[in-house]
Amino acid sequence: MSPAPFTKHYAEPERAAGAVRHYRWLTAHAKPLRQPALHTVGPQSLTFERIEGRPVRPEDLPRVAELLGHAHGAAWASDLHSASLDTPHHFQDGTQFDDYLGPRKVALRRRHEQGYLPNKTALHAMLGLLEATTEGPCAFYKDSNPRNFIVTSTQDIVAVDTDDLSLAPMGYDLAKLVATLHLTYGPLTGQAVTTALLAYNAAARRHDARLGTTDRGQLDSFLSLHAVLTAPYVGRNGYHYSLPLRFSHRGAS
């Protein structure tokens, strides 16, 4: 007997419509990324196939990294090769999802106001880091964290909660997964992170030879950004460990 479907409710019709749009975009352009079947679209609700399984754990990182590399490579080859990281991405119906640069500038300034960045020097360092990472081919960002992937009993990996997408550099969403695994389970080994990055790059390169060039320095820059952006969630939502904050970036004196 199949498990009962899962219905997700939204406060506003616009949020439900945006979630459908992003779901369908991923279905069309990021085919390696499996999502639950979407059964019913209501004005303020979506009903999905229920996926039984567990969240991603550290030992799953290489497989999920490979999956992300394939999904990002496919999306670049299909739709994002002409996108720019500082410009929102437009759909055929005229709607869009956010660019990489603008919303994260706003978020970093908010973290400073909230006290997660100790002073304006630290804020300016992080804004400089953000600017330095605004380069290279575009991928999409889907907030990859352990709870947003389900590993089934047959070891399939299914992506859930894809309501919000934005543009991001290749490797940025992989860094979010590494960061949130750290927040959930504690620090990962350097070898584990390097192995995941190699798997991600190899998968992305299979879609175009110009992809799969994210290096460890770039990944560490993304991790520094995620350390600040995720700081308010430490101690909540299963995040028991903090990431070290580094207020410098490549090329800084």
SS (H, E, C) 109-146: HHHHHHCCCCCHHHHHHHHHHHHHCCCCCEEEECCCCH
Q: Is 208 helix (H, G, I), strand (E, B) or coil?
A: coil
Position 189 in a domain: yes
Cβ(99)–Cβ(139) under 8 Å?
no
Q: Mean pLDDT across the chain, nearest whole number?
A: 92
Position 70 in a domain: yes
Position 246 in a domain: no
Percentage of residues in the chain having pLDDT higher than 90: 87
Give the pLDDT band of residue 250 (cuts 50, 70, 90). very low
Give the pLDDT band of residue 1 (cuts 50, 70, 90). low
Looking at residues 69-93, what average pLDDT do you find?
91
What integer pLDDT is reported at residue 20 of this predicted model? Answer: 93
Position 5 in a domain: no
Looking at residues 33-62, what average pLDDT do you find?
96
Position 74 in a domain: yes
Position 39 in a domain: no
Give the torsion sign (CA, 76, 80, 86, 88).
negative
Q: Look up the CATH number of the domain holding residue 98.
A: 3.90.1200.10
**Domain span at 77:** 54-233
With 60 as the cut, is the pLDDT of residue 249 above it? no
Reported pTM = 0.93
Give the pLDDT band of residue 6 (cuts 50, 70, 90). very high
Position 225 in a domain: yes
What integer pLDDT is reported at residue 96 of this predicted model? Answer: 79
Percentage of residues in the chain having pLDDT higher than 70: 95
**Higher pLDDT, residue 96 or 118:** 118
Give backbone dihedrals phi and psi of 88, rounded to 5 degrees, phi first: -55, 150
As a whole number of angstroms, the distance between CA 63 and CA 173 comes to 14
Position 121 in a domain: yes
With 60 as the cut, is the pLDDT of residue 252 above it? no
With 50 as the cut, is the pLDDT of residue 248 above it? no
As a whole number of angstroms, the distance between CA 12 and CA 18 comes to 10
Give the pLDDT band of residue 245 (cuts 50, 70, 90). confident
With 90 as the cut, is the pLDDT of residue 230 above it? yes
Q: Is 62 helix (H, G, I), strand (E, B) or coil?
A: helix
At 119, list the tokens: 């002073």
As a whole number of angstroms, the distance between CA 85 and CA 167 comes to 6
Looking at residues 117-121, what average pLDDT do you find?
94
Domain count, the chain: 1
What integer pLDDT is reported at residue 64 of this predicted model? Answer: 98
